[in-house]
Structure 1
């Protein structure tokens, strides 16, 4: 009977990990799509700015041509009908390009301002002066990296009481941002874990640590589980080499990602791109 229970437990853990990996893959894929879209949008913005400059030069040339025409007609202050029409059309075209540029800049500015405000509030709430807690932004996502010694005992995945105080501050920020998702990533060094009925390797340890934190955020602080993602990255994304104790300590960490919902941001960028094609 004991063997059957152990086998079922391992199977459940495997299925959970697979589901998590699939979710991570989907988020990373969507994030790449957004970055590609932003790169394309920036390119279009630069093209519009260049066209705007060319249009301004053309308008100036038309004005100079009309000045020459005025002089040849005994200094009568009249513009030719054709010249006036060309200037009017050029001005209208310039206004349209200004509107498109403004829309693109607004979309990028909204995304940047939201990220900046979020990072500022997190630094203030969590206490970024603690060397074991780092806050930074990468590709529009806010990362809170917490050293494992603040969260877990060595080789364990149960969250400590001290860690719950830190997670409470993070939870307050997440709850204040209902349109954001929260992904918890567990990272380990390359030292093998003691194989037992629960943990087979560092994959298991990183996943179990992530799910432990997710449960605290859900059960202790009331975060909607629909907004939470638990992910284990094992030993495979180190910050430093695992050849020294300091390097291994740096690699043992938990990252909490606070990010706008991918679908909402993607829809905003897609809408602005469609406006440019009109």
Structure 2
């Protein structure tokens, strides 16, 4: 009996020891499992991050390839255009050279024209003194001589009849015209825009300013013929009325400037060439 009790006690002790050992192992296993689970989650997350990074790098690589292809295409195009650009530059240089030649030609022509105008001015006004030049406005434009005279220097007030002062004034003009017997001469009458007084005795049978300007020009032509012997075939009389103003008719000064007679002296082509040959170098 006593022996059995001892055996039972030993078995109980063994079972107790075995139970304690199994519980400790279980706790160890649970701890290991928990640690493994944590490591697995960390690894899984790192793997996902790595995959995202790889995907991003692949996208960047693909974009870099596209950029490279675009750059290569642009480079190829630039290299292809280089030859054309060289040709265009060559053409541009030729055009610039041609333009420079043309500009030099224009400068030479203008210089020659200025010289011609100076010769015409000097030759056509050599008969006039400095004092006389103050009374007669002479301009040369493109080889044509314009002599402008105010109406009060030539005509009676409100009339187309030549006044007493015209003798001296037109004698100066006649000197210029007679110096160059082969030049054509146009006498051109001009008025302001104020309608004429058709009731005045001196204006009867004159309809408007155009009639008046033409009659004034005709009076000058006949005066040059009758008093100074200018050949009629050289002279032309014309009227432009109020339609060729040189100033505004809004002021009295402007109207006075517009009431004028112009004597226009035009050399023929061969006479131009003779004058060009005489033009000074400077």
Tell me what 1:159 maps to.
Answer: 162
Cα distance change of structure 1 residues 124 and 189 upon mapping to structure 2, 3 Å threshold = same
Instruction: Return the offset for 1:50.
Output: 4.0
**The one of 206, 225, 235 aligned to 1:199:** 206
Q: Distance in 2 between matches of 1:242 and 1:230?
A: 24
**The one of 218, 227, 231 aligned to 1:211:** 218
Higher alpha-carbon Rg: 2
Q: Distance in 1 between matches of 2:235 and 2:98?
A: 40
Instruction: Return the offset for 1:49.
Output: 8.3
**The one of 118, 121, 131 aligned to 2:120:** 118
Instruction: Return the offset for 1:253.
Output: 0.4
Aligned pairs for 1:159-238 within 5 A: 159-195=162-198, 196-238=203-245
**The one of 147, 151, 165 aligned to 1:148:** 151
Consecutive unaligned residues of structure 1, counting only runs of 5 or more, are 1-45, 54-100, 269-278
Corresponding residue SS for 2:170:
helix
Cα distance change of structure 1 residues 128 and 144 upon mapping to structure 2, 3 Å threshold = farther
Consecutive unaligned residues of structure 2, counting only runs of 5 or more, are 1-96, 274-282
Cα distance change of structure 1 residues 115 and 241 upon mapping to structure 2, 3 Å threshold = same
For the Cα contact (< 8 Å) 1:194–1:200, is it kept in 2?
Answer: no
Aligned pairs for 1:40-51 within 5 A: 50=101
For the aligned residues, what is the CA RMSD?
A: 3.2
For the Cα contact (< 8 Å) 2:137–2:147, is it kept in 1?
Answer: yes
Corresponding residue SS for 1:189:
coil
Q: Distance in 2 between matches of 1:175 and 1:132?
A: 19
Q: Distance in 2 between matches of 1:114 and 1:219?
A: 32
Corresponding residue SS for 2:263:
strand
Q: Distance in 1 between matches of 2:135 and 2:179?
A: 24
Number of aligned pairs? 169
Cα distance change of structure 1 residues 127 and 161 upon mapping to structure 2, 3 Å threshold = farther
